[in-house]
Every structure is written in C-alpha cells, then in structure tokens.
A and B are shown apart, each in its own frame.
Chain A
Amino acid sequence: MPPKIQPSIRMGELGVCRETGALRTLLGSCLGVALYDRKLRVAGLAHIVLPKATGTPELPGKYADTALPELIRQMQVAVPGANLKLTAKLAGGANMFNSISAPATIGEMNTQAVERILGELRIPVIGRHLGGEQGRRMTLDAATGQVTIEIASSESTVL
C-alpha cells in the first residue's frame, strides 16, 4: 500500500512526519530539500524560494539560511532527546522558460546556499535531481527515506 501523503508543502513551507506517511511538494525553480534519519525514520521536507533572509522573516521556510535550522528544529521536536543523524536529498531549480532568465540564477544560488549550509551542519547530500526545463513533483517516504521525482510526461526517478 502506498504511503499516505500529507497535504502538499507549498512555496516557502516546511513539513515533518515520522515512521509512516509521505511528504510532497511541487517544484519549479524553487529547491526542495529532503532530510531524513534512517534509524529514527523521521523525515523533513522544505520548499525553499530564496538563498538568504534579511532579519527575522515571517516565513522561515522561504529562505535557505532560515529554513534548514527550522526544519531540523521541527524534526528534533518529533524525536525529543534523540540524536539526529541526517542525510539530505535535493531537487528543483528548473529554468522553465528560456526567455525568462533571472529565476535560473536564483535556483543556482539556492542550491549553492543549501549545499554550503548542509556542509557546515555536516549533513551529507546523497541525492540530487536539479536543473532542466520542467517542474517536478518531489515525494519523501517517511518509512524508507526514498525520494521519488516525477516530471510531467516522463518516467519517475527514485533518489
């Protein structure tokens, strides 16, 4: 039986679930960051829009530098007292229209910012599905940590 999928995580939002269920988001030029602890089976997914916030943003999930600490904090709340050992998988950053170039730059900046922050936090990135010209549906299965990437009219890919 496929995992029960929670409501889609929208632009600038975060989600966490544990042991069962799945987290899903639809991505264009934004970056989806899936964090997972295989032993504790706690899963977190962020839909990041921009690399860096100014001050304290109302939407911490919107920015790479505030989304990742907030996502880890929420995952820790789900397993209080446990020592999280996380891995990361990244998807998104599409440049969907050739004539509109600015967001592609932001997509690359988001990826660089996320990879830098994950490096500082010693969280290894073990899967990537980035770039291209089409949107993606990214689904994180809390039971297995498996990330499935679907692109319209294409075969799905498992990270």
Chain B
Amino acid sequence: MQHGTNRRMLSPEQLTALTDLFRIGATEATAALSRWLGRPARMTVERVDQLALADATEVLGDSESPIAACVMSMRGRVTGQLILAFDDASGLSLADLLLEKPSGTSTAWGEIERSAAQETANIVGCVYLNALSRSFHDGTATHEVLPSPPQFTHDYPQSLLQFALMNQAAASDLVFLTETQFHIDGSPVNWNLLFIPDADCVATIENLLLFGMK
C-alpha cells in the first residue's frame, strides 16, 4: 500500500457553506439535547476546517490526561466517526444530572455513568447525523446515515484522535473535521462533538459543494 497524495484545500467560501450545513445539524441536536436533559442546552459549531495532521490531533487540547469519549461509526451517505468527548468532571456531572443526583456524586466511570454518556451521545448523534444526511442529499435514492451504537472509551485525547483521523491521514496530510461546543443552562461545559468524515466522505462533500445539493 502506498500513500502520500495531498487532497486540495477547500476554499474559505466552501468552508463557510459547510459551516451553515453543520449549524443546521447543531440546531436540531440542540433541541433534542434540551429535551433529554430537561434544561436549556445549546450546541455551537466552533470549527469547520482543514488542518495539518499534527495540529488536528490537538483539537481536544494537548493535555496528557485521559478524557472520556463516546465514538459512533457512521455508515451510509455520511461515513467516518462522530465523537462526543468530555473531561472527567464534565462527563460525570452529566451522569449526575441524568441520574438526578447532586452534582459531584459520581466520581468514577462505572457502568451506569458510562451508560448515561452513551445514551446522550446516541441522542445527540442520531439527530445531528439525520440533519446532516438531509443537508448532503444530492437527489440519489440513498441518503440515510446509519450510526453504530456509541462505544465508550477513557483514553488520551491525542490517541483517540489519531485513530479517528487515520482514514483521512492515509489520503492526505490535511484532514477535515468539525468541532461543536456546548452550553448547558447558559454556561459553557467542557463537552465537544467532533465530526470526522473518512476520506470517501470528504470527497463526497467536496463534490456536493462543486456540483450542488438538492
């Protein structure tokens, strides 16, 4: 197997057009998340960009402490990985909220805390991806996205991102990703939703930008 060709850069105008599409996904997922949590939530698209490989592995920060993450593999019209990541404090606070316990009760990632995180990822991810699949519809019959059940991991953020970026890295030194951040009850929380398409999906997105969506 040989690798090493570089994909072209998306133009600023194309990235702006894509940002608008991802905002639709974030808006729909915001409503679902607010219902799930029973309190106001907001998801904000912070970044839709192509980055150098090494820089992309640091979008969750360069901390060497492990983080918690739920990873969904996407198949169908949109392919790649969707990752909901949080630092331990933020993730365990989410578990307390959903389990109706006082904040600070959960101190470790047991089965029930993991389940709370995975169910949140499932709800946010499915709504987000459904909205994206409609946005990326090009008139062909198949535009469904089939997400896998979220897999929980507690690992180094750079290791996690390396794994998720590997498919794009095989095609290019530049990788495409989007980053969405969260507010709960009007305050920022250290959660992050990363949409990391694989190389085929990036090519699909580029073609849709060139030839249009229906």
Given A100-B163, A152-B155, A137 and B64 contact (CB-CB distance below 8 Å): yes
Q: Are A109 and B1 in contact (CB under 8 A)?
A: yes
How many chain B residues touch A (Cβ–Cβ < 8 Å)? 35
Binding-face segment, A4-12, A38-46, A69-77, A118-126: A4-12
Q: Is the interface of A mostly helix, strand, loop or mixed?
A: loop
Q: Are B54 and A13 in contact (CB under 8 A)?
A: yes
Q: Is the interface of B mostly helix, strand, loop or mixed?
A: mixed
B214 at the interface (CB under 8 A from A): no
CB-based nearest A residue for B4: A54
Q: Are A55 and B57 in contact (CB under 8 A)?
A: no
- The 8 A CB mask of A68-104 against B (1 = contact, 0 = none) is 0000000000000000000000000010111110110
- Chain B residues near A103: list those with CB within 8 A: 163, 166-167
B81 at the interface (CB under 8 A from A): yes
B173 at the interface (CB under 8 A from A): yes
Closest 3 CB pairs of A and B: A135-B159, A10-B54, A28-B162
Offer 30 A-B interface pairs, CB within 8 angstroms, sorted by A.
Answer: A8-B158, A11-B54, A12-B169, A26-B57, A26-B156, A26-B162, A28-B163, A49-B169, A51-B3, A52-B3, A53-B2, A53-B4, A58-B6, A58-B173, A59-B173, A62-B4, A62-B173, A96-B155, A97-B71, A97-B153, A100-B71, A100-B163, A103-B167, A134-B155, A134-B159, A135-B159, A135-B162, A135-B163, A136-B156, A152-B155
